[in-house]
Structure 1
Amino acid sequence: MTSSRKNPLRQSNREDVDSFLQQVRARAPLASQSDRGRLIFALDATASREPLWDRACHIQAQMFEQTATLGGLDIQLAYYRGYGEFKAAPWTSRADELLSVMTAIRCGAGQTQIARVLQHTIKQANHGQVNALVFVGDCVEEDPDNLARLAGQLSIVGVPVFLFQDGGDPAATKTFARIAQLTRGAHCRFDAASAGQLRDLLCAVAVYAAGGSKALRELGRSHGGEALRLTRQLHGGD
């Protein structure tokens, strides 16, 4: 997005988190998978996210470190920025490699390229297992119907999309929620006040992608917080 303006959040963040957890609960259990989980982590690095970029990088770094201690998960970091620039790093399980790429990224003015993120994920899924796509962004400047079509293709190859919306842009909220629904993923909004919840939810989704419900239960017992709430939602508890 070329503008740095963001719409204020108008609904309780707690309600957004609860809704997110309900969506995850509605997902079918993970299908039989290989020994290692694979998660694509995609970022909007356009200019509108620059004011909060350092905060986002810190949160995402904590997610990488948390999942690295679990083991059994390969992550591919992808991002777009500028005018037509889209990059995807090699798959890795090493937190230091992911952090090295993250810290080198600088935001650049340009349009969103969510379609390229979805197309890339479809291609990766067609060449091997992908357990989930996590996307962090703040707006949509593309044809929502085309994004919905691509989301439908992701649903066919069995890849849920977990979308974390930075801010409260209403058009983005509508489109992100639709993508989540079509792929049987989930959508949650966050702002500066909910950074801790975002970190915990990112970690919980990554752990779920790596080790399924058992690994998520263990994380919930050891760390509590959103991981514990997610565990209870998945198993029909609180």
Structure 2
Amino acid sequence: MPQNPTRTVGQAPATSADTSLRPSSTSDEIAAFVAKARAMAPGAAGGRGRLVFALDATMSRQPTWDMACALQADMFREAAAIGSLDIRLVYYRGMNECRASGWISSSDELARLMAKIDCRGGHTQIGRVLADARKEAIAAGVRAIVFVGDAMEESVDELCAKAGELGMLKVPVFIFQEGTDSEAESAFREVARLTGGAWCRFDPGAAAQLGELLRAVAAYAAGGRAALQRLAQAGGGAALLLGQMK
């Protein structure tokens, strides 16, 4: 793995703005995305599902970060039963730090990367995560986005604008909220709704709950809605997500 496997997300020198997000999606951009998504769709020759795995890595999140490190291999295993999966890790922490990896195709590689990252205090940067996901969706094709966090300290309207663009690109955001912050829940639910995704709460430290939810999204990323429907027949997390999706 390269010594510096991540890059800064949506940040130009001397500014903290989401520079990776353009004002609006053009018809040409959307057409390009649709063409790439079809080429990468499960069942296409050589096609691979692509999933953005975004995590809040601020100081309060260390226990959940450690838990996600232990669970990430389950996403690859679930996807392998259906097709194949590439994961792009995105995280934010500290003073305006938001980084993204390249596309990762093995759980060992992702585990090595996550093990090098520690959580640091700071404010949420969900807007930058969504902006980067939109840019990557257009450039490389993305089937789904997972975000795991417990707080939201940004403009709800700005987040919803970014979510609306992902919805136009038909890239659902699956938000898994730890804890009971009502302000975060309201924003998270709306982002999920606007993208055609789903929101679900999991209990602090509940590895089994989070693992079930992550496996469900991995199945969707690798095999589409049909794969999620098959998994939902057994109930659990997949059924909860499917029930919310448009």
- Normalised by the length of structure 2, the TM-score is 0.73
- Does residue 199 (structure 1) correspond to residue 222 (structure 2)? The answer is no
After superposition, the Cα gap between the structure-2 partners of 1:45 and 1:61, relative to the gap in structure 1 and judged at 3 Å, is: farther
CA distance in structure 1 between the aligned counterparts of 2:85 and 2:202, rounded to whole angstroms = 25
1:142–1:232 Cα change, 3 Å: closer
User: What is the rounded CA distance, in whole Å, between the counterparts of 1:82 and 1:57 in structure 2?
Assistant: 19
- Show the counterpart of 1:41: 53
Structure 2 residue runs of 5 or longer lacking an equivalent are 1-36, 41-46
Q: Report matched runs for 1:176-215 at 5 Å.
A: 176-192=188-204, 194-215=206-227
1:134 is aligned to 2:146:
yes
Aligned residue number for residue 92 of structure 1: 104
How many pairs were matched up?
Answer: 202
What is the CA–CA distance in structure 2 between the aligned matches of 1:41 and 1:146, rounded to whole Å? Answer: 21
Alignment-derived partner of residue 174 in structure 1: 186
Q: Which residue of 1 aligns with 2:68?
A: 56
Q: Which has the higher helix share?
A: 1
Query: 2:159 — aligned with what?
Result: 147
Q: CA deviation at 1:227?
A: 6.2
Q: From 104, 118, 122, give the equivalent of 1:110.
A: 122
- Where structure 1 has 5 or more consecutive residues not aligned to the other structure, the ranges are 1-30
Identity of aligned residues (%): 50
Q: 1:99 to 1:174 in 2, by over 3 A?
A: same
1:62, distance to aligned residue in structure 2 (A)? 2.8
Distance in 2, Cα, partners of 1:56 & 1:231: 19
How many angstroms does 1:193 deviate by? Answer: 6.3
CA RMSD of aligned residues (A): 2.4
Q: Does 1:72 align with 2:50?
A: no
What is the distance in 2 between the residues matched to 1:63 and 1:148?
Answer: 27
* CA distance, structure 2, for counterparts of residue 70 and residue 95 of structure 1: 16
Q: More displaced, 43-52 or 78-87?
A: 43-52
Query: Residues of 2 paired with 1:213 and 1:52: CA distance?
Result: 27
Cα shift readout 1:61-84 (whole Å, capped 9, x = no counterpart):
433443355442111111111111
From the superposition, tell whether residues 65 and 96 of structure 1 become closer, same or farther in structure 2 (CA, over 3 Å).
Answer: farther
Q: Distance in 2 between matches of 1:232 and 1:153?
A: 21
